[in-house]
Chain A
Amino acid sequence: MASKNIVGAVLVAGGGVAGMQAALDLANAGYYVYMVEKSLAIGGRMAQLDKTFPTNDCSMCIISPKLVEVGRHINVELLTLTDILSIEGEEGDFTVTVRKNPRYIDMSKCIACGECTKKCPKKLNNEYNESLDTRKAIYVQYAQAVPLKYGIDAKECLFITKGKCGTCKKLCPADAINYEDKAEEVTFHVGSVVLAPGFTPFKPTEFDTLRYTDVKDVITALEFERYLGATGPTMGHVIRPSDHKDPKKLAFLQCVGSREVNRASNGYCSSVCCMYAIKEALIAKEHSGGALDVSIFYMDIRTFGKDFEKYYEKAKAAGIKFVRSRIHSIQPESGGGVKLNYVTDGGASTVELFDVAVLSHGLVITPETKELAKKLSLATDCYNFAQTSTFAPVALSRPGFYACGAFTGPKDIPSSVMEASAAAAAATSKLTPARGSLTKVVKVPTPVDVSGDPPRVGVFICHCGINIASVVDVAKVVEFAKTLPFVEYASNTMFACSQDSQEKLVALIKEYGLNRIVVSACSPRTHEPLFQETLAAAGLNKYLYEMANIRNHDSWVHAGHPEEATRKAMDMTEMAVAKAVLLSPLKENVIDVDPTALVIGGGVAGLNAALTLSSQGFKSVIVEKDSKVGGNANRIHSTTKGESVADYLSDLKTKVQNDPNIELVLSSQVDKVDGYVGNFTTTLTTGQAVKHGVTIIATGAKEHKPTEYLYGENRRVVTQLELDELLKADDQNVAKAETFVFVQCVGSREPERLYCSKVCCAHTAHVAVELKKNKPQARIFVLYRDIRTYAQKEDLYKQARDLGVIFIRYDLDSKPQFSEDNKKLTVKVKDPVSGHHLIIQPDYAVLAAAIVSGRENELAMKYKVPLDEDGWFFEAHQKLRPVDFATDGMFMAGLAHYPKPMDEVVAQAQAAAARAVTVLTQPKMTVGGIVAEINQARCSGCGVCKAVCPYSAIDLDDKGKAVVNEAMCKGCGNCASSCRSDAPSLRGFTNAGLFAQIATAL
């Protein structure tokens, strides 16, 4: 029973990817969610993107399942077209008042057929396509929108403004249009608030020298993204806007409206533009068959995230030119295109013509968000980003208010998703007594018993926009599918995964009495659960489903062979149908979940994960191999925001030691692992056996030991962490020192370690500023390749320069040279501006040594989770599942995943805890229906199956016949392939089904 003053509901403001993730984690952890979105539909900026870096995943493909999940989640109440009016009260019980603006469409009646738009006389800028094409006054935000319901733009509708027209009402077959719709004020109670209002792209209109407003061939990067998109104004065809011809030469201008304090007052770096420019450049080049000439004009390339540096190198190898130069002005050419005047590194003034100039505009906070923050009395910085601390990165200045995504600073999708999960954990840390008090339970219709019925197969062939349909002749595949045995219904669909297609699928299952479903679309690895859920909603057992992967395994890889690809799609569909016909309904089992977490690693990540779990009421055991906790943070002096790390750590240690929910096991490691999600047993090297439901890996990373720059030979040469230790100890030699040289990228961004260590530039800038503040006459030189002080950390870089710190760039082929003479250290570096060699004789040379992974191969093998080639733990999905492993019940946090600064470590730890809570909060969970069974009539009791079972799931019963423990079986099928008599069978992958696939493959 919930306490009277604590409400088990949370307000999530903003329906972009961050808001959606927060909403799902909250709802899956037992809280009721009110999701307020000001526009017609959720999806936010990510829905506008064509692809996402660095995997080039199709943005709509990966966000679509999430849109659908939010849209159909029984504990997420979607309030679209809604503004927040007031939030009164305090953490635990806020009263929220919102205004639901009129949509003028009855959502319960609208079938999203689009008839209403046909005769609407208005042509208005289509915001989804960045105004590159038009929409009507009655419209749907985008084709895959959730909720998929039309709405009327009241400011433009002729009937609403002038009482004329009214055509759409006449055309609507569902009588859904209501011109009398009125705004409505609604009040509800929540325990806490998560703000995810996102950003708006910087509008370069005020930069008259860039000619965005008057020259057609100057466009923004988001406009370019829409040109690339299959659902964009040119269906994915890149054009030169002035004459719609294919462009031959493209220029990207970085830092438009970012790192700019003269015209835009946006001193910060927008964090994502370097990567999206590279992405757009690569994809445009790919679209053009490689012929397109692309140059990216930049100040520093900031590819600091996981796999970003490799992406940058890939772009260079693909022939994309990177020119270090900030362009001050653009001139139009008379026949179309633009002229760029720029100065190269060598100082030469150059003039070059381009067909299109793409402005890589930054991310800014909207005026509405600024207003909201003011109304709610939330502290913001000079750029209107919400103020947070390093140690509580998602908590806002007012108790009960939390944030995620771009509101706390410009960031990419995975960082936003991480923060969203973190915010879900932080926002419920005080609401635990009310968990589950307001949530509803999903009622899945009891599956219709179809066993014994003749198969009636429904086949759906997906266009995936143009992803499949541009290569595969979908109509032909549909016609072919109709001829296959037992197929009752076959059709094509634009996006099989979208909400409307799911609803249509349910309707068709009922209408045609379908009892097997085949979807020919993308990978079952990503989309099978979504379709299975739809089957369940339609009253079909979810295992009566089969997928043919005609996108990833066909259209995407055989683009040059459309005929072959179409034949392959037909074969793949036939194989799927053949298997589907032989599928039978499977039942699922319920198992207990041990509500305890094992946290491996007692650094900042591990400690925070355990404390977050404790605040949610869950116990954890932390196992730390060292004799003390704190990890690398023990060596760090202060954060880039100037907070003392030692004070923080001692506070953290005290909290952990006094927390009855946390057991700390020092000087120990994982020895042996048994079990699976909900029921792990891990034996530690101390001999202690820990029973736990989930595992969080937070094993950290190490500082690279440099093998250059006289490290280890000259005592004046130290690493960044060693300097921090000296600073922490108030070392007198450091205090006396007059000259410092900082060398960046020592061991990072080298061929053998092709990644950026992410934290060094900002930390160096911070330390340089502190040294300068203490001793203004100190001479400080920073030798760097690209300065990567992303987001608001750019201010530190500017502050350092303002204080007189000298930044000198070097290249990989002209590294600084270190020599010593009579213990006197000399550093020689070529200044690229003057061309001269500089000789510096520093008191200290500080090396920004790379962060290297622990290469935890053994641990990875014990838990059966993967590492990437640099030794970082490999997440389930780089964009949307940044703290999950593909294996259920396994999560990661901190540097074990990739180098990151402390605020991001804390956020990821909170996120891992939030994701873990979604498992731990279920007292019982359902496990796979794909398990083995034994036909005892065939069993001779030889025991081969028992011997080959990796999970000890098979035993011989008292009659000497094999039996399967369904809770322990993981469905590998080793038993089924090893038995001489075919007694074991793997449900879902039976011999009959697989033989049918082989027969139809040929």
Chain B
Amino acid sequence: MSEFEPKVVAFFCNWCTYGAADLAGVSRLDYPPNFRVVRLPCTGRLNPKFIMEAFKRGADGVWVSGCHPGDCHYIAGNYHARRKFVLLHSLLETIGVEPNRLRFSWISSAEANKFQAMARDVIESVRACGPNLTFRKANLQLDLAEVA
């Protein structure tokens, strides 16, 4: 039996973490190929609905990463993101998503090594959660209800 390979949707801000991922490439730092990146101008652009949409569509995990506190290209976007994030994180359990499936990090555009380590860590902790079936079941029931 092949091991479960998690699917993770990542939201990176253009100026810091997306740059770190670019630099990780330049430095040829390998990490698991399990996530797909949505590039945002700033984590401040991140609407909590995006995270919910990813889980609803069956993502096993979501990773949000932006600039270090104080480094935001848009002054304070990452602080706004953090507020939304903390609130959403505390609500996840009530809707049946293990909090460990959602990660937040600060990685600057110069921190390729940190990026690599975090990428590995995110994938491993999501892997430990197992497949996200919550919404897949719900979707199925929804579909069945529509058919009926």
Residues of A within 8 A of B (CB): 55-57, 286, 523-526, 549, 551-554, 556-561, 564-565, 567-568, 571-572, 575, 861, 864, 866, 868-869, 874, 886-887, 930, 948, 950-951, 970-974, 976-978, 986, 989, 991, 994-995, 997-999, 1001-1002
Contacts and interface: CB of A to CB of B under 8 A. Distances in A.
B36 A1001 contact: yes
Given A557-B29, A558-B33, A1001-B38, A974 B22 contact: no
A995 B53 contact: yes
A575 to B, nearest CB: 7
B97 interface: no
Interface stretch (B75-83, B122-130, B137-145): B75-83
Given A557-B28, A866-B108, A950-B75, 6 more contacts: A557-B30, A557-B31, A557-B33, A572-B37, A868-B110, A973-B44
Interface string B57-85: 11100000000001111111100110010
B58 A1002 contact: yes
Nearest to B62: A998
Given A864-B75, A999-B57, A974 B26 contact: no
A564 B33 contact: yes
A986 B41 contact: yes
Contact of B45 (A56, A572, A866, A986): A986
B75 A977 contact: no
Contacts of B24: 552, 557
A487 B43 CA distance: 30
Nearest to A61: B26
B92 interface: no
Contact of B26 (A556, A572, A970, A998): A556
Contacts of B7: 1001-1002
A297 B22 CA distance: 34
A864 B38 contact: no
A527 to B, nearest CB: 11
Contacts of B80: 948, 974, 977-978
Interface residues of B, number: 51
B25 interface: yes
B38 A998 contact: yes
Given A974-B44, A995-B50, A575 B38 contact: yes
B27 to A, nearest CB: 7
Contacts of A558: 30, 33
Contact of B84 (A559, A866, A886, A977): A977
Contact of A575 (B30, B36, B50, B110): B36
6 contacts: A525-B19, A549-B21, A553-B21, A874-B110, A972-B73, A974-B80
Given A977-B45, A998-B9, A525 B14 contact: yes
Contact of B44 (A523, A568, A886, A977): A977
B26 A552 contact: yes
Nearest to B31: A557
Given A561-B33, A571-B36, A972-B77, A866 B71 contact: yes
B25 A989 contact: no
B67 to A, nearest CB: 9
B42 interface: yes
The 5 closest A-B pairs by CB, nearest first: A973-B45, A552-B25, A972-B74, A1001-B36, A556-B25
Contacts of A874: 110
Contacts of A551: 25
A552 B21 contact: yes
Contacts of B19: 525
Contact of A991 (B31, B47, B76, B110): B47
Contact of A972 (B28, B29, B44, B70): B44
Contacts of A977: 44-48, 80-81, 84
B133 interface: no
Contacts of B50: 994-995, 998
Contact of B38 (A887, A973, A994): A994
A510 B133 CA distance: 47
Contacts of A55: 23, 26
Most buried by A among B7, B26, B46, B70: B26
Nearest to A932: B45
B45 A989 contact: yes
Nearest to A930: B41
Contacts of B106: none
Contacts of A864: 72-73, 75
A565 B33 contact: yes
Most buried by A among B29, B33, B73, B109: B33
Contacts of B40: 973, 989, 994
B70 A861 contact: yes
A559 B36 contact: no
A977 to B, nearest CB: 4
B59 A1002 contact: yes
B28 A286 contact: yes
Contacts of B23: 55
Most buried by A among B27, B36, B57: B36
Nearest to A887: B73
Nearest to B25: A552
Contacts of B72: 864
A553 B45 contact: no
